[in-house]
Amino acid sequence: MPGIFERISMIVRANLNDLLDSAEDPEKMLNQIIRDMESAISDARDQVRDMLAQQKMLEGDVKRVTDARNEWQRKAELAVSQNRDDLAREALKRKTDYNAQLDVLQGQLTDQQALVNKLRNDLTQLESKYEDAKRNKETLLARSRAAKAREQMAKTATQIRDIPDYSGEFGRFEQKIREKEARASATAEMAEARSAADNEFEALQDPAVEDELAALKAKLGK
């Protein structure tokens, strides 16, 4: 008996959202929970039936002992009316025995009724939670997936915040590249200027070329 009570109470107290959040496979976990609920509900119904049958048997015993006690009370009264104190005493002893039995049976019946009521209450809660789980299965899974996504985003944001700021190093690196580009441009410009100057100096240093060019132009009538 304690096993089924503990099993049902554990399922009733379980927080489905927490279970799904901690599960590697939420859908598989939820399907297993639903199967566990179905099994627990079947077991609980069997227990309610069996315990209710025991309760009815105890109620029958209480009625039987109560009737017997009342009968011996009637016999004691009859004996007294007939001035048979000896029979009255015997009847009252029997009545006392049945009263003791009745006290025990009443206690057992009270305990049995409490157990039946508790199991019925747990069964009702389990059935309600079972219907909620079936009805909200997709919603629960969606909420679980959303919670995991938010958790992952939070972790990613934390990781990004923990990355060192290299903006200063990138800025200094860019400045060095610009300086190199400027030096390369200046070097090319200076090389071009030096080449032009060299050509002019070469022309000045070789007048025979100009004379030969003039003679050629005269010959050709140019």
Weakest mean pLDDT among 81-90, 96-105, 124-133:
124-133
Sorting pLDDT into bands at 50, 70 and 90, what band is 1? very low
Residues 158 and 171 in one domain: no
Residues 9 and 41 in one domain: yes
Mean per-residue pLDDT for 81-105? 96
Question: How many domains is the chain built from?
Answer: 2
pLDDT number for residue 154: 78
Integer Cα distance of 59 and 157 in angstroms: 67
Residues 89 and 118 in one domain: yes
What is the domain extent for residue 152? 2-162
Helix ranges, the chain (H): 2-13, 16-22, 26-81, 85-135, 137-162, 167-204, 207-219
Residues 191 and 108 in one domain: no
Residues 122 and 171 in one domain: no
Q: What is the mean pLDDT of the chain?
A: 81
Residues 137 and 70 in one domain: yes
Residues 74 and 184 in one domain: no
Residues 104 and 195 in one domain: no
Residues 53 and 137 in one domain: yes
pLDDT number for residue 166: 58
pLDDT number for residue 17: 62
Residues 80 and 94 in one domain: yes
pLDDT in tens, 173-222: 788 888 888 888 888 787 777 776 666 666 655 667 677 777 778 878 76
Q: Does the structure show a pLDDT above 90 at 61?
A: yes
pLDDT number for residue 101: 97
Residues 99 and 116 in one domain: yes
| Residue of 129 and 114 predicted with greater confidence | 114
Residues 154 and 175 in one domain: no
pLDDT in tens, 72-87: 999 999 999 999 999 9
Q: C-alpha angle with apex 32: 30 to 34, nearest 5 degrees?
A: 70
Mean per-residue pLDDT for 45-67? 95
Highest mean pLDDT among 35-39, 97-101, 182-186: 97-101
Q: For the CA atoms of the chain, what is the radius of gyration?
A: 53
Q: Does the structure show a pLDDT above 70 at 167?
A: no
Q: C-alpha angle with apex 111: 106 to 112, nearest 5 degrees?
A: 95
pLDDT number for residue 222: 60
